[in-house]
Chain A
Amino acid sequence: MRVVVIGASAGLGLELSNQLAQLGHDLVLVASDARDLRAIAANLSITCAANITTIVADLNMCDPKILADQCINSQAVDAVFLIAGLSNISIDNGVVDNEFLMKIIKVNFTSLMSLANAFLPSIEKSRGDLVGIGSVASIRPRKKNIIYSASKTGLEFYFDSLRHLYAFGSCKIRFYRVGFMKTSMIFGQRTIFPALPPSSVARVLIQDLGKSKYTRYLPGWWLFVAILMRMLPWFIYKRLNI
């Protein structure tokens, strides 16, 4: 299988790349940091004898269509994982600088949407998988991580539409609302619920390849948290400092 991982240099993307390489898949890894990508590609080529292509691209700056064409490179693509994400919880909690706002929206939403759009013909052809990663931040709007939650919700909406579009189609559209993960995004922060290691999330994502599941909470118990949060009446919810 030829798999594209967008956002492969750290966290979930890195774990996913490691596990996919161990399974012998050919990988196209995309990330913004050339040095990290070089190190990851070298390691996977040496330890897993994997065929790795790396593309350095910053989703805030690049043209997603050109990036997708570079990834496809006239070859079949069997799966695309849109993992890249950006958040800064210390800034993203009210009125923010417009440049920051646009960057968060671009990296988490519009660039990924454009990439998905550009990859779809290839994925359709190979009857492959398009996988999007959302966040439990989208469960219910709150006063923290505002732009991030909005952009992830936008991405989820787009994937919902794709799911409808391909309900009887050839390619599989999957979207996961992932809970807290032990990555640099939450490093040093106290989380109200336990954080998962990215390796266990990556394992589920790989196990689900080729399956027609949709919107899964990872881990599953987040579904109950989501139901409870949504059921909370506004006069209580507005008092929560979450």
Chain B
Amino acid sequence: MKKKFSSLDRQTTEICDYQRPDRYRDILSIDKCGHLIPRGSGLSYVAASFGGGAISVGMDKFNRILSFDPSTKLIKVEAGITVGNLQKFLFCYGLTIAVQPGHPNITIGGCIACDVHGKNQTKEGLFDSVIDSLTLFHPSHGEIILSRQHNADIFELTCGGYGLTGIILDVTLRLSDQSQKSVRQYLIPVAGLLETRDAIADQGDAYDFVYSWNDLASQPMGRGFLVGGKLDQEEMLTDWSFSDLNKNQPFFHPSIFRRETAPIINAYYNWNMRRKKNGLLTPIFEFTYPAAKLGFYFSLYGSRGFIEHQVLIPEHAYKSWIFELLKILKNSNETITLASVKAFEGKSNLLRYNGTGYSVSLDMPATPAALNLLNEIDSLDCDHGAIANIYKDSRLTDKVVARQYRNLDVFKQRIACWDPMRRFTSSLAKRIGI
């Protein structure tokens, strides 16, 4: 069937062929010659699960737990299970997946395809660190088991491969202990983006999770707070419900988040957060998935949508990048509505968003002025050796990605070698020239 798909940021919309198998035989007998792309919950900021002439293969019906052994802390699940549902199950056993994205409705397959990070990247790394093995299906290769020991090269290509190596059928995950049922939340005020980095460096180790909220819409730019979370044993009633980010927006939906209103909205948010008691006990669900109940945040940008630019800046270049960014913002007609900083530690590999430094997320309404501003920021990123997150930013071009990701050609070669017919493709893949 034909279905209209839209990326979460609403920058890419396409009518695509869609299949939603509910039996294994339907997947294994899937279109033998057309282009395909697996689709989980369809919550990617960018068009990673549709477009490019491919049939989107919805995997959300494959959402079962296949085996579970609390003693070995291994769980085998189908790729369509959501992190929220899995976490809800593991909660009773005092176990968790160490790396989790910000919304509970994201599927495990989606986490692997983007090799997502969580709120404790420096401690836990990317999602691939919790994968023991997985089963991949490709019409030309059949089903193959991938792990660090078996077919390690395809395993590496699949984690953070944006669904371009095939359809993930099932995954065995390594679980971590987490007997705590709640999080104590601490807010540490910061005066700017440089102070945020210093606060993360000085105090980050004291918390189990750390991220920041910074206000770039009002003066002085960058002030905000660091959110530190400490796991706590206290039992709390957990509400596992969440807002559906895929809900259709009305045809015309005005943007509330704009240059004029952003300082007011941010000031209110800042006041609302700061009036909360330090050490406030929060259900672990709410802290793990901050976007779970914030569906309205995305609708504040209206039907025109928004752009999220997330960039990982090497430690040594951070100060200079911030200095230049503030200079660009002073001369810009557009405003950044939300900024957030996280520490990162790791090594960039293929197209993975990883490295050592600081990850800065910038959200803004999708306006022509914002696009101009982001073009300037792209140059700034390239000059500072930073990499932009491919699965967050809908407007990254192949040239920018090639400049930032030195292994783009290696990725392309390895994909071409594995899948010479290029059976798996998407709008995202076409845009960045894969």
Contacts and interface: CB of A to CB of B under 8 A. Distances in A.
Q: Do A and B come from one complex?
A: yes
Interface string B22-64: 1111100000000000000000000000000000000001101
A11 interface: yes
B417 interface: no
Interface stretch (B65-73, B183-191, B204-212): B65-73
Find the residue from A38, A40, A184, A189 having the highest chain B CB count within 10 A: A184
Nearest to A11: B22
B67 A9 contact: no
A39 B78 contact: yes
Given A47-B89, A187-B1, A188-B1, A33 B25 contact: yes
B66 A33 contact: no
Contacts of B1: 187-189
A42 B26 contact: no
24 contacts: A9-B23, A10-B23, A10-B61, A11-B22, A33-B23, A33-B24, A36-B23, A36-B24, A38-B66, A39-B62, A39-B64, A39-B78, A40-B64, A42-B64, A43-B64, A43-B66, A46-B68, A47-B65, A184-B20, A184-B26, A187-B1, A187-B20, A188-B18, A189-B1
Contacts of B66: 38-39, 42-43
Contacts of A230: none
Q: Which 9 A-B pairs have the closest CB atoms?
A: A188-B1, A43-B64, A35-B24, A10-B22, A46-B65, A42-B66, A39-B64, A46-B68, A43-B65
B67 A42 contact: yes
A73 B68 CA distance: 28
A36 B66 CA distance: 11
A111 to B, nearest CB: 19
Contacts of A42: 64-67
Interface residues of A, number: 19
Contacts of B68: 46
Interface in A1-35: 9-11, 14, 33, 35
A43 B89 CA distance: 11
B83 to A, nearest CB: 16
Contacts, number: 44
A239 B85 CA distance: 49
Contacts of B61: 10
Interface of B: 1, 18, 20-26, 61-62, 64-68, 78, 89
Contacts of A46: 65, 67-68
B60 to A, nearest CB: 12
A46 B89 CA distance: 10
A35 B21 CA distance: 14
Nearest to B21: A184
Nearest to A39: B64
Contacts of B18: 188
Contacts of A40: 64
Interface in A172-209: 183-184, 187-189
B21 to A, nearest CB: 8
A184 B24 contact: no
Contacts of B65: 42-43, 46-47
A190 B1 CA distance: 10
Nearest to B170: A39
A167 B89 CA distance: 45
Given A39-B78, A47-B89, A184 B22 contact: yes
Nearest to B3: A188
Contacts of B89: 47
A10 B25 CA distance: 12
A79 B356 CA distance: 60
Nearest to A189: B1
Nearest to B78: A39
Nearest to A40: B64
B81 to A, nearest CB: 9
A47 B89 CA distance: 7
Nearest to A35: B24
A46 B68 CA distance: 7
Find the residue from A35, A183, A189 having the highest chain B CB count within 10 A: A35
A55 B321 CA distance: 63
Contacts of A188: 1, 18
A184 B65 CA distance: 22
B5 to A, nearest CB: 15
B55 to A, nearest CB: 12
Contacts of B23: 9-10, 33, 36, 184
Nearest to B75: A46
A40 B61 CA distance: 11
Contacts of A189: 1
A163 to B, nearest CB: 32
Interface string A39-54: 1101100110000000
